[in-house]
Structure 1
């Protein structure tokens, strides 16, 4: 709990306004395919049945405590979900568990799906 407390205390105006804790769709596009970045889909199995992202590792948020060893500490982890909420919780969870390189995706899964339509995809 001390790590969590410390993280919360560090999240002041300067931290939040810097944007260092987050990644946009444009940021995602820039690093997609870079092996150092792992996109962590923390949505439920039911959600993934209807919309999946083949470049992402899928571990539902509620399973993460039991499957944390599947998330590499030597990579840059970008958790995401359908609404940003769970991604933000997982951001804090990973940081509290000693992960150094973590950013939460500031886009919903709907925004991500839009980014992979033919026009935007061709620009990647």
Structure 2
């Protein structure tokens, strides 16, 4: 069985129910500024040209295999996109490539932007 098949076979009810695959927007808020966490924006260049997140490293999902060397394995990588789908693909891909500390944001980028309003920013 190849690495990806083995990983997927472990993604059962307990895996998803425990939430070990994802990070909430609250988890993101708590870890922004923590040097051990690297937020990975896997949206397209076109999307980022309209709305960017300066705290994140941007590597479009389709470029990730060729740019994997830009991601350190000693950081906790949290992948995200505009809808959660590509973040989940990046999460699975990174795990299959030997990254051990990986999660995907479980919120879309619209919900992320709400965190950057004055009230939530002030609280953080």
| Number of aligned residue pairs | 124
TM-score by length of 1: 0.98
In the alignment, structure 1 residue 7 sits paired with structure 2 residue 7: yes
User: How far 1:15 sits from its partner (Å)?
Assistant: 0.7
Alignment of 1:1-124 (within 5 A): 2-124=2-124
TM-score by length of 2: 0.98
User: How far 1:83 sits from its partner (Å)?
Assistant: 0.1
User: How far 1:73 sits from its partner (Å)?
Assistant: 0.5
Structure 1 unaligned segments of length 5 or more: list them. none
Which consecutive aligned stretches of 4+ in structure 1 deviate over 2 angstroms post-superposition? none
CA distance in 1, matches of 2:113, 2:14: 31
How far does the alpha carbon of each residue in 1:5-55 deviate from its partner, in whole angstroms, 9 at most, with x for none? 011000011111000110000000111100000000000000001110000
Structure 2 unaligned segments of length 5 or more: list them. none
